[in-house]
Amino acid sequence: MDWFSTAVGFVVGSFTGAAGTYLADKYTDQRRDQAEAAAANALWREAFDMFPEVMREMQADVRNPRLAGVRDFFVKSSGSTVNSDRPHLEYHTDVHSNIMGAIAYLEEVGYIDDITPGNCPKYRMRLPFVNRLKAGS
């Protein structure tokens, strides 16, 4: 066997192996991305199915041009007041009887974070959640 044939066989074999690995990784990544997108869409639909009034109100709030950039919100009764120097949203326990269940769900799936500084529950919407509410998807 000559050295040239061996070298060509080595190069072709190496290229074939590398190309096979690249293509396998590429298509595995695409399948994984599709599965993750499907799971995220299922969580989103579930949130709207379980808490339609709360989700629609949040969607209306983030789409309101006067409230652009406001991501913090308090959960309280309509008759109480909050002393805050920053703009914020409010969702009321006497308007939405299931608001605390909605909050627990949204926090569990990673859409919001609890940032309560004192007695009144305060939350911050994560940017991907806000963007999805704005998009209406």
> Domain of 86: which CATH number?
1.10.10
State the average pLDDT over residues 6-10: 72
Range of lowest pLDDT (4-13, 20-29, 67-76, 91-100): 20-29
Which range of residues forms the domain containing residue 5? 1-46
Q: Are residues 121 and 68 in the same domain?
A: yes
- For position 115, what pLDDT does the model report? 94
Is residue 84 predicted with pLDDT exceeding 90? no
DSSP helix, strand, coil percent of the chain (3-state; round to 5): 60, 10, 30
95 within 8 A of 133, measured Cβ to Cβ: no
**Are residues 33 and 10 part of one domain?**
yes
In a shared domain, residues 69 and 100: yes
Place of tokens 């500084």: 117
Mean pLDDT over 24-39 rounds to: 71
Is residue 59 within 8 Å of residue 136, measured between CB atoms? yes
Place of tokens 């919100």: 73
How many structural domains are present in the chain?
2
Minimum mean pLDDT among 13-22, 59-68, 79-88: which range?
A: 13-22
Share of the chain above pLDDT 70, in %: 85
Please count the other Cβ atoms lying within 10 Å of the Cβ belonging to residue 136.
Answer: 7
Query: Residue 16 carries which side chain, given as an amino acid letter?
Result: T
pLDDT at 31 over 80: no
DSSP state of 110: T
In this prediction, residues 47-62 reach a mean pLDDT of 93
Q: Give the whole-angstrom CA distance, residue 125 versus residue 114.
A: 9
Instruction: Return the DSSP state at 109.
Output: T
Strands (E) in 28-119, as ranges, are 72-76, 89-92, 112-114
More confident residue, 135 or 39: 135
Say which residue, 21 or 72, is predicted with more confidence.
Answer: 72
Structure confidence at residue 1 (pLDDT): 62
What's the pLDDT tens digit per position in 109-133? Answer: 999 999 998 888 999 999 999 999 9
Helix axes 3-50, 99-108, angle to 10 degrees: 170
